[in-house]
């Protein structure tokens, strides 16, 4: 039998989840999920189906989307769900979309880095970005497909070639790094994870993931050894999941949660809610890299203001410096891919 304390904790958790994914306000917004049949796409679509901020949910993939759409359509929420299968139906899936989430691609397996996914996922993302440029050029694009450090520059450069690029509307979703940092800090300190907020800056792979634990709210203090170990765990948390799943996939459920959190924050801001902040990997003038994740103030047109890095500790300054070389190389890899694609006559 639950104790009163245990029941109170469960109740608080349920209220927190409901608050995150439900809202008293409604909007008429079409949201498209590209890669909706995959390990991330299905739970992501489920969480979006629950939100009154979504009136139309457009699901696209190369297989099984009609079944996923039929399944979700039986849930008694207002969002109308439509499934689209294959390249021929992609334009219709995108037309009228105001927000597009891209989790399409192959997952990591044990021994793989995010960069090992590049050759396959780069082509997938490029094809989808081209379709977005042609069919919903003004949509907010949230890129989940790894390696995000390279796929966001790919999306941006393809939109540029079409003349429809708006840096305020293209995001690399790094929210999972924040979610993990919040969870791990709460584990160590006994704080309620729903009340912890750790900004995570840089990129979305290994040492480019830089948790700003000195800026955590509420304030936390760690020894040097604990700080180093916690930072390393946050940076390698994805590998932790890949190893635990032993070949059965990568972080899908937590990534779906994080993707939905970012998408719903963006929708809130698009609907005029003030003070909405999320970290994301975007075109940036904060530091040496042309793309960088920092806290952002979101607004009706996407990025309202880049809030920058804030005051860093000496430990964090060192992490930023060490990440720059790898991050620049990943960005360049994405940009080179688009240039090579153009020379080979691929559609842009």
**Per-residue model confidence (pLDDT) at position 10:** 38
**Per-residue model confidence (pLDDT) at position 300:** 97
Which residue is associated with the tokens 């801001």? 269
Burial category of 336 from C-beta neighbours within 10 Å (exposed 0-12, middle 13-18, buried 19 and up): middle
Catalytic residue among 19, 64, 74, 204: 204
Q: Block means of pLDDT (10 residues each) for the chain, length 348 residues? A: 40 43 68 98 98 98 97 97 98 98 88 80 97 98 97 98 98 98 98 97 97 98 97 96 91 97 98 98 93 98 97 97 96 96 72
Closest CA relative to residue 97, chosen from 137, 64, 46: 137
- Tell me the domains of the chain and their CATH numbers: 25-172 (3.40.50.720), 175-331 (3.90.110.10)
b/e for 115-152, b at 16 or more Cβ within 10 A? bebbeebbebbbbbbbbbbebbeebbbbbbbbbbbbbb
The pTM of the full predicted model, rounded to 2 decimals, is 0.91
Number of neighbouring beta carbons within 10 Å of residue 67: 12
Q: In sequence order, what are the beta bridge partners of 82?
A: 58
Which residue is associated with the tokens 């990997």? 281
**Per-residue model confidence (pLDDT) at position 23:** 46
**d(Cα 213, Cα 31) in Å, to the nearest integer?**
33
Alpha carbon of residue 65 to chain centroid: 21
**Per-residue model confidence (pLDDT) at position 108:** 73
Q: What does the block give as tokens for 343?
A: 């020379």
**d(Cα 246, Cα 250) in Å, to the nearest integer?**
9
204 catalytic? Reply is yes
**Per-residue model confidence (pLDDT) at position 25:** 63
Query: What does the angle CA 291 – CA 297 – CA 302 come to, to the nearest 5 degrees?
Result: 70
Residue 273 has phi, psi (to 5 degrees) of: -65, 135
**Per-residue model confidence (pLDDT) at position 101:** 98
């Amino acid at each position: 039998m639950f104790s009163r304390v245990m029941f109170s904790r469960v109740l608080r958790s349920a209220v927190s989840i409901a608050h995150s994914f439900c809202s008293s306000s409604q909007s008429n917004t079409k949201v498209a999920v590209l890669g909706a049949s995959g390990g991330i796409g299905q739970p992501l679509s489920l969480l979006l189906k629950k939100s009154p901020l979504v009136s139309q949910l457009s699901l696209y993939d190369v297989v099984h989307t009609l079944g996923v759409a039929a399944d979700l359509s039986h849930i008694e929420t207002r969002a109308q769900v439509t499934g689209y299968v294959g390249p021929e139906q992609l334009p219709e899936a995108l037309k009228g979309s105001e927000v597009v989430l891209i989790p399409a691609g192959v997952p990591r397996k044990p021994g793989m880095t995010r960069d090992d996914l590049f050759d396959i996922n780069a082509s997938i993302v490029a094809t989808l970005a081209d379709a977005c440029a042609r069919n919903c050029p003004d949509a907010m694009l949230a890129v989940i497909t790894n390696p995000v450090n390279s796929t966001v520059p790919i999306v941006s450069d393809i939109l540029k070639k079409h003349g429809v690029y708006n840096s305020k509307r293209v995001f690399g979703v790094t929210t999972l790094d924040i979610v993990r940092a919040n969870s791990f800090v709460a584990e160590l300190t006994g704080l309620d994870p729903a009340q912890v907020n750790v900004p995570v800056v840089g990129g979305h792979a290994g040492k480019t993931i830089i948790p700003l634990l000195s800026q955590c709210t509420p304030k936390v203090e760690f020894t040097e050894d604990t700080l180093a170990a916690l930072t390393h765990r946050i940076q390698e948390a994805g590998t932790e999941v890949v190893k635990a799943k032993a070949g059965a996939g990568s972080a899908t459920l937590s990534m779906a949660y994080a993707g939905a959190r970012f998408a719903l924050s963006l929708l809130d801001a698009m609907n005029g809610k003030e003070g909405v902040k999320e970290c994301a990997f975007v075109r940036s003038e904060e530091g040496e890299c042309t793309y960088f994740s920092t806290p952002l103030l979101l607004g009706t047109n996407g990025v309202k203001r880049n809030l920058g890095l804030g005051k860093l500790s000496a430990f964090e300054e060192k992490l930023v410096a060490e990440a720059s070389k790898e991050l620049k190389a990943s960005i360049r890899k994405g940009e080179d891919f688009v240039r090579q694609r153009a020379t080979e006559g691929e559609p842009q």
